[in-house]
Amino acid sequence: MSIYDDFKAVADELLAVSDDTFGQLGAVRRTVTTGGGPSDPTGGSTTTTDYPARLALFPVSQEDIDGTFIKAGDWRVLVSTEGLAIDPTTTDLLVTTEGVLTIIDPGKFAPAGEVTHYKMVARK
């Protein structure tokens, strides 16, 4: 077992849904548009898919607010990679108990190239 496996185990333990202190079930919502273009006046068709995820929400601490990248009311969100079928991006949304949040920074935590979890910044 490597140190990265240890990091992943700690993140997964914090995000365990059975522990109501931190973990919750949510989703990463991705909307994809297919078709469309200059010759297609319909604009194509969009498909929205929710990918189940285990996550934990924490309000951003006052000292981290810089007014530009991190603003008052933002959230730090830990997301487990376990069972997550996609790599979240800034075009995705998070479905949480606080509502639907926009991903500002996906915060991929990948020591030595192996993603152990995501430490995101998200906003309403």
Percent of the chain with pLDDT strictly greater than 90:
56
Token output for 35: 């078709």
**pLDDT digits 0-9 by tens, 23-72:** 899 999 999 988 877 777 777 889 999 999 999 999 998 888 898 889 99
pTM here is 0.83
Measured CA to CA, the distance from residue 109 to residue 8 in angstroms comes to 10
Which domains does the chain possess? 3-34+46-123 (2.40.10)
Mean pLDDT of the 102-120 span: 91
Q: CB atoms < 10 A from the CB of 85, how many?
A: 10
